[in-house]
Amino acid sequence: MTQNKNTYLTDKKFPFCPGCGHGISINALNKALQELNYGPNDVIVVSDIGCSGLIDPLFATHTIHGLHGRSPALGLGVAMGVAQKQNKKVIAFIGDGGATIGLQHILEAARRNIDMTLIVLNNLLYGMTGGQISGLSTQKYKEIIDFEKDVPPFDLIQLTHASGARFAVRVNAPNKIKETLKKAIQTEGFSIVEAASLCPSYGMKRMNDLLEVVEHEEIMEHDRPATKIVDKKVHSLLTETPVIQPAFQSNLKNRKGIIIAGSAGGGAQSVARFLALAGMHAGLETTMKGEYPITVGTGFSVAEVIFDHKPINYTGLETPDYFIIVTEDGLNKIYSKLHSNAKIYIDEKLVTEDLKNEFSNLIAVPFSKMANRKSIALAAAAYVLNQTGLIPVEALKEAVSSHRLKDIFIEVIDKVTQQAV
Amino acid sequence: METQTSQKTLIDGSKLMIEALAQAGVDTFVAYPITPSNWMYKYGKERFPQFYAAPDEITTFQWMAGMSAAGRLPATSSAFPGIALMVESINMAYAMELPLVVIITQRLGPSTGSATTGAQGDLALLNGIISGGFPVPVFSPSGFEDIWELSEKAVQTAVKFRTPVFLLTSKEMVMYQKSFDLKNLKPIKKISRPKPDIKGTYLPYKADKTLVPPFIPLGDDNHLVRITASTHDEAANIRKNDPEALANTQRLKDKFMHRIDELSVYDLDHEEGAEKIIVTWGITTDAARDAINLLRSSGNKIDLLIVKSLLPVSPEIYDILDQYQEIIIAEENLNGQFKEILFGVRPVNQVKQVNKMGNMITPDEIVSAVS
């Protein structure tokens, strides 16, 4: 690429229409950078689509040219990426058209306040597609063209200020743009400069006309330090997954599947995990999975556990061998899976005449008398292990022993299994 | 004699995938939570040196692209609704040739569908995701060892080919826990972004015979770097359809196709004399393994092909399938998306499909499809 001396611009001719205001802002930025003494390798210019995006080939700095409306987000990504290098400055351009596509990105960048500068070239309209109005077209301009007068424009300066931008400025007078940009670039943190820019093809023909229709100039600042980016120290996730050496024996003959059906907050998921761990303590292969509504705090909570001596491939459980049903939510959820060849352990309060008539294999147990709402699934699981001998109850106690509530859990297990004896 | 004692643990696929990506060199995770990839988010927050909670999926991808352009190695995880928002940005990163990894945890569609129900319905989307008919690497793990190895492969591929790479998994694969022996995990080699030594002017899209241009990050002190998503020449000057720019665009496909053997991953479980083969991928592999055992134990001669690099389709897959009289393709979607990629939508005599939605395909359903 060709680079002129003492300039951050290439020798490419500006592609803008005669009289276009974008050139003024680009020259102002070039001068601002010269006065601030950045090296070309320290500046990364981010651009997107639209007339403002045509700046990409003009800068003899690092450049990245992306999607319409995304330069604030792409630029913030670059800013995060270079944050730990010395003295790098990300300067993103966007037009008023792109600014509404990427409004979320702009507010997010303001909120994060990571060091970067966003220059919004506001020519009040979509210059590349026929001069349609934009979300930043001013009230006065819309009155002149008599379109959407009842819809106010976004005020990017107010919005970004409210979101936490360190420095947010609207500038209309061409002779102020350079100084404003210098201040923005020197600001550590997120800065935004909205510069009024004449569109001679579709909007105003003369600078004076433009200045009559733009929003008033505004400077809004926060005394807020820029967010620093650091790499945090991390460690392997595998160090926290306990390795299990089997110390118990299982009476399991062949593959068995258990369904635990309860309600949110009743521990069905943790109990299924305890059962799976207990199986492993007894030398078995196991899989465990849960199902619950998206609203995790209410409704059913169902978990499946499979045990086998052999490695388990398919983890589906169409016909469970054991059901442990402790609440009505749970019962309703798994009702269609109940079948006459399973052992169906169910809280006695849930047994109705209809259910008894349909399934002669119900085993009614007073689970709700054995433990409170939070421990009922654990009590039921302990009961079933004790009755079936599938896995030693001691293996279940071993499984809960690393939990912070182990004392409570062991008490629940002991109470149930001793009662049963 | 056992040389290494067992290291059995109860673990889920999300944890293995995040750990593998971190060990392979991913240093940044950006995500917006979405079921069923929330465990990835949780683990990602702990495991990567940088983690960003993005406000939406478009921002997610733009941040990743920016960080990748600056030399970091980012990953994300999402599901169809989030991926749908990312599509334009995925195209951007593809055209810019930025390495990054995207995990897709498939769930039942269309639209919001069922967030907690698994599926294998997003392969067709990935097959056409880059406008213009360009291939993007898609790896799909068939089990926990694969999750480990293909995560490493995904990072390796992203860096080696300068490209976004997809890890296509599903709710059931990453949200169940399983007794698993950690000693089955092969050591992972950390992949670093290469630092090419370039004398003179750097042309960011000038490739050597590998067809992959050497990468220098934005902000480099010695070379000015230009990156663009618009049609461009070797110097990243935006051009329309002139021959140099079109050649560069053509290269985006050729860089994969001329080294497709390096992308190809599959397992062929072959039995002498078999004339039938079950083909599957992803979560249906578990059922297919059981089905094969059932079929063989009742005297059938049948093979199993587990395809792990789904896209671009390796010619090896056709070489294998050409050997069989009957091909049964099992996948948990409505139309048979891999089947359609391999054979088109027109029914083919020797090809049978086992498809389903809303529940995993069972071993019996595969068995009963075999004549």
Q: What is the pLDDT of residue A4?
A: 47
Residue to substitute from B14, B18, B37, B59, interface A, most A β-carbons within 10 A:
B59
> By the 8 A CB rule, do A62 and A208 touch?
no
Instruction: Assess B323–A contact: CB distance below 8 Å, yes or no.
Output: no
Half-sphere exposure of B345 (CA within 13 A, CB side): 3
Q: Do A289 and B88 touch (CB under 8 A)?
A: no
| Listed residue (B328, B308, B364, B369) closest to B157, CA to CA | B308
Q: Do A78 and B69 touch (CB under 8 A)?
A: yes
Write the ipTM. 0.97
Between CA A363 and CA A359 the distance in angstroms is 10
Q: Which residue of A has its CA nearest to B177?
A: A288
List chain B residues with CB under 8 Å of A296.
none
pLDDT category at A420 given cuts 50, 70, 90 is: low
Q: Looking at the domain that runs over B8-184, which CATH code has it been given?
A: 3.40.50.970
Q: Do B19 and A273 touch (CB under 8 A)?
A: no
Q: What percent of chain A has pLDDT over 90?
A: 83
CB atoms closer than 10 angstroms to residue B166: 24
Tell me: the pLDDT tens digits for B118-174? 999 999 999 999 999 999 999 999 999 999 999 999 999 999 999 999 999 999 999
Q: In chain B, where are the structural domains located? A: 8-184, 266-369
List chain A residues with CB under 8 Å of B200.
none
What's the average model confidence in pLDDT over A143-169?
Answer: 95
Q: Do B226 and A63 touch (CB under 8 A)?
A: yes
DSSP B29-64: EEE---TTSHHHHHHHHHHSSEEEE-SSHHHHHHHH
Give burial (CB, 10 Å; 0-12/13-18/19+) of B133: exposed
Q: Which token pair is A325?
A: 């049903």
Tell me: the pLDDT tens digits for A253-289? 999 999 999 999 888 999 999 999 999 999 999 999 9
* Cβ pairs bridging A and B (under 8 Å): 223
* Distance, CA of A176 to chain centre: 39
Of A82, A279, A318, the CB nearest to B219: A82
Tell me: the pLDDT tens digits for A194-229? 999 888 888 888 878 888 888 899 999 999 999 999
- Rg of chain B, C-alpha, whole Å: 21
The amino acid present at A196, given as its one-letter code, is A
Q: What is the pLDDT of residue B302?
A: 98
Q: What is the pLDDT of residue A3?
A: 44
Tell me: the pLDDT tens digits for A9-38? 999 999 998 888 999 999 999 999 999 989
- Find the largest Cα–Cα distance for chain A: 96
The residues pairing with B30 across neighbouring beta strands, listed in sequence order, are: B52
Instruction: Assess B237–A contact: CB distance below 8 Å, yes or no.
Output: yes
User: Which letter, b or e, does each residue of A363-380 get, where b requires 16 or more Cβ atoms within 10 Å of its Cβ?
Assistant: bebebbebbeeebbbbbb
Tell how strand A322-325 and strand A256-263 pair up: parallel
Helical axes B57-69 vs A103-112, angle rounded to 10°: 60
List chain A residues with CB under 8 Å of B22.
234, 236-237
The amino acid present at A49, given as its one-letter code, is I
**DSSP assigned state of A53:** G
Tell me: the pLDDT tens digits for A379-401? 999 999 999 999 999 999 999 99
> By the 8 A CB rule, do B328 and B279 touch?
yes
* Architecture of domain B266-369 in this structure: 3-Layer(aba) Sandwich (3.40)
How far CA A74 is from CA of A118, B228, B325, in Å, comes to 11, 12, 51
The amino acid present at B45, given as its one-letter code, is K
Give chain A's mean pLDDT: 94
Q: Is the pLDDT of residue B329 over 80?
A: yes
Q: Do A80 and B52 touch (CB under 8 A)?
A: yes
User: Which letter, b or e, does each residue of A232-247 get, where b requires 16 or more Cβ atoms within 10 Å of its Cβ?
Assistant: eeeeebbeebeebebe
| Listed residue (B135, B122, B49, B142) closest to B82, CA to CA | B122
Tell me: the pLDDT tens digits for A70-108? 999 999 999 999 999 989 999 999 999 999 999 999 999
Instruction: Assess B92–A contact: CB distance below 8 Å, yes or no.
Output: yes
Task: Please report the residues numbered 277 through 296 in chain B whose beta carbons come closer than 8 angstroms to any beta carbon of chain A.
Answer: 285-287, 289-290
> By the 8 A CB rule, do A149 and A139 touch?
yes
What's the average model confidence in pLDDT over B256-285?
Answer: 97
Q: What is the pLDDT of residue A61?
A: 97
Q: What is the pLDDT of residue B1?
A: 42
Q: Is the pLDDT of residue B340 over 50?
A: yes
Q: Is the pLDDT of residue A421 over 60?
A: no
Q: Which token pair is A416?
A: 């149930």
> By the 8 A CB rule, do A301 and A262 touch?
yes
Tell how strand A190-196 and strand A116-122 pair up: parallel
Question: To the nearest whole angstrom, how far is the Cα of B346 from the nearest Cα of chain A?
Answer: 31
Q: Which token pair is A376?
A: 């009922």
3.30.450.40, 3.40.920.10, 3.40.50.720, 3.60.21.10: which CATH number matches A237-420?
3.40.920.10
Instruction: Assess B116–A contact: CB distance below 8 Å, yes or no.
Output: yes
Q: Is the pLDDT of residue A2 over 60?
A: no
Q: Looking at the domain that runs over A22-221, which CATH code has it been given?
A: 3.40.50.970
Give chain B's mean pLDDT: 96
> By the 8 A CB rule, do A343 and A364 touch?
no
Q: Do B22 and A75 touch (CB under 8 A)?
A: no
> By the 8 A CB rule, do A105 and A128 touch?
no
Residues 6+ apart with CB under 8 A from B166: B101, B102, B103, B104, B126, B136, B137, B138, B139, B154
Residues 6+ apart with CB under 8 A from A86: none
What's the average model confidence in pLDDT over B336-363?
Answer: 97
Give the position of tokens 């080699």.
B189
Q: Is the pLDDT of residue A5 over 90?
A: no
| Listed residue (A66, A246, A74, A148) closest to B227, CA to CA | A66
Q: What is the pLDDT of residue B4?
A: 65
Tell me: the pLDDT tens digits for A172-182? 999 999 999 99
Tell me: the pLDDT tens digits for A337-359? 999 999 999 999 999 999 999 99
Q: Do A289 and B176 touch (CB under 8 A)?
A: yes
Q: Do A318 and B362 touch (CB under 8 A)?
A: yes
Q: Is the pLDDT of residue B3 over 60?
A: no
Q: Is the pLDDT of residue B299 over 90?
A: yes
Question: To the nearest whole angstrom, how far is the Cα of B239 from the nearest Cα of chain A?
Answer: 11
Q: What is the pLDDT of residue A211?
A: 83
Helix (H) or strand (E) holding A307: strand A300-308
Tell me: the pLDDT tens digits for B18-66? 999 999 999 999 999 999 999 999 999 999 999 999 999 999 999 999 9
CB atoms closer than 10 angstroms to residue A158: 14
Between CA A18 and CA A284 the distance in angstroms is 79
| Listed residue (B25, B67, B87, B27) closest to B51, CA to CA | B27
Of A19-33, A313-327, B1-15, B195-209, give the lowest mean pLDDT range: B1-15
Q: Is the pLDDT of residue B288 over 50?
A: yes
> By the 8 A CB rule, do A69 and A105 touch?
yes
Domains A22-221 and A237-420 share a fold: no
Q: Which token pair is B345?
A: 């939508």
Q: Do B362 and A41 touch (CB under 8 A)?
A: no
Q: Which residue of B has its CA nearest to A107?
A: B55
**DSSP assigned state of A321:** S
Tell me: the pLDDT tens digits for A233-260? 999 999 978 899 999 999 899 999 999 9
> By the 8 A CB rule, do B296 and B270 touch?
no
Q: In chain A, where are the structural domains located? A: 22-221, 237-420
Show the beta-strand stretches assigned E in A30-166.
43-47, 62-65, 89-95, 116-122, 125-126, 132-133
Q: Which residue of A has its CA nearest to B87?
A: A67
| Listed residue (B149, B123, B42) closest to B337, CA to CA | B123
Give burial (CB, 10 Å; 0-12/13-18/19+) of B107: buried
Instruction: Assess B203–A contact: CB distance below 8 Å, yes or no.
Output: no
Between CA A151 and CA B228 the distance in angstroms is 35
Of A118-132, A348-362, B225-239, B355-369, give the lowest mean pLDDT range: A118-132
The phi and psi torsions of A415 (rounded to 5 degrees) equal -60, -45
Q: What is the pLDDT of residue A1?
A: 40
Question: To the nearest whole angstrom, how far is the Cα of A247 from the nearest Cα of chain B?
Answer: 13
- Find the largest Cα–Cα distance for chain B: 68
Tell how strand B176-181 and strand B276-280 pair up: unpaired
Q: Is the pLDDT of residue B2 over 60?
A: no
Q: Is the pLDDT of residue A419 over 80?
A: no
Q: Is the pLDDT of residue A333 over 90?
A: yes
A225-228 contacts, C-beta under 8 A, 24 or more apart: A225/A113, A225/A188, A225/A189, A226/A113, A226/A114, A226/A115, A226/A166, A226/A188, A226/A189, A226/A190, A227/A112, A227/A113, A227/A114, A227/A189, A228/A83
What's the average model confidence in pLDDT over A292-302?
Answer: 85
